[in-house]
Amino acid sequence: MIFKNYLEKIFKDTCKDIRNGENIDIYFIVALIILQIILRVVQIYFTITDKINEPLTLAILFSLSISLLNSRRTIQDLAEIIKKNTCHFSDDVNIIDIRDDYQSTVKQFLQNTKSKSSLKLVLRTGKIIKDLDTEFEKILERGCKIDLIMCNRKNSNLIKEIGLYSEKNSTEIQINANFDLGEEEIKKLERNYSILINKKIVDFHPPELLYISDHDDCENGQTYVLPFSYNSSVREAPSILFKNSDNPKLFEYYSELFDRMWEDNKND
């Protein structure tokens, strides 16, 4: 029964391959071997040695061909699985040059954000909100909502970790100074636009230095991601800017990552 099922599977796979034009070379070799076996069997004039050696050789070649076919099929199946589960970047993904100023990219991002959009934002210290205070205030004036995730400055171990993923020789004093600047500007914005800002604090280093995404604009919304580099300048890390609708798998990945961080951590 098992052998019968195996033969049926081979037959179905063979028909599928032939229809798709795949593995034709292997099937051709197998057909030739089978043909030669048949011709040898019907012949009555070969010697006793031929009766033993030649069919044995053909059987070995036949077995090798089947083995090669199965190996190739396994590789093809694996390639198909990888293809289905691979996130392909569209031409709209922009890998920004490492020498570019990431603040300029964020500034342009905010300026292009439509009114009443919903932004998802991940920061460490929030200093960029101070650096781009005018742009952040303008998007809030346009009715945009911001869900903000920031690191917990009260967590001493987290402060040390931020130092590892910051510019070389960054001290705890410098990191706390950046927190002071960021929190000062955020509190100012919260006083004027409290209903538009939701903030959560996390006790771990986020998987990126900066993440900002427009979740409401399905057609033109974008996402910008700045990865971190260990013990190096932030400008040494290339950043990614892509259109959400053109890269749904990439957008879905970062969106779900944000949601998990948001749901698993406490309110400020």
114 and 156, same domain (yes or no): yes
Beta bridge partners, 177, equal: none
CB of 118 closer than 8 Å to CB of 214: yes
| Segment 90-141, tens digit of pLDDT | 555 666 554 457 788 888 888 888 888 889 999 988 889 999 999 999 999 9
| Segment 170-198, tens digit of pLDDT | 678 888 888 999 999 999 999 999 889 99
Q: What is the CA radius of gyration of the chain?
A: 31
Q: Distance between alpha carbon 130 and the CA centroid of its chain, in Å?
A: 31
74 and 165, same domain (yes or no): no
132 and 163, same domain (yes or no): yes
Query: Token match 């427009």: residue?
Result: 214
Distance CA 160, CA 171 (A): 9
118 and 236, same domain (yes or no): yes
| Segment 87-97, tens digit of pLDDT | 555 555 666 55
CB of 250 closer than 8 Å to CB of 242: yes
The CATH number given to whatever domain includes residue 239 is: 3.30.870.10
Domain count for the chain: 2
Residue ranges making up the domain that contains 182: 94-264
Query: Token match 């409290």: residue?
Result: 194
Q: Quick check: helix, strand or coil at residue 151?
A: strand
139 and 63, same domain (yes or no): no
Dihedral sign for Cα atoms in the order 202, 122, 199, 231: positive
Write down the pTM of the prediction: 0.62
Closest by alpha carbon to 266, among 201, 212, 220?
201
131 and 19, same domain (yes or no): no
pLDDT for 99: 46
Higher-confidence residue of 181 and 63: namely 181
Mean confidence (pLDDT) of the chain = 77
Domain ends where: 39, 62, 85?
Answer: 85
Distance CA 152, CA 5 (A): 61
Distance CA 139, CA 227 (A): 24
191 and 98, same domain (yes or no): yes
Query: Token match 């009260």: residue?
Result: 154
CB atoms within 10 A of CB 198: 14
Distance CA 246, CA 190 (A): 34
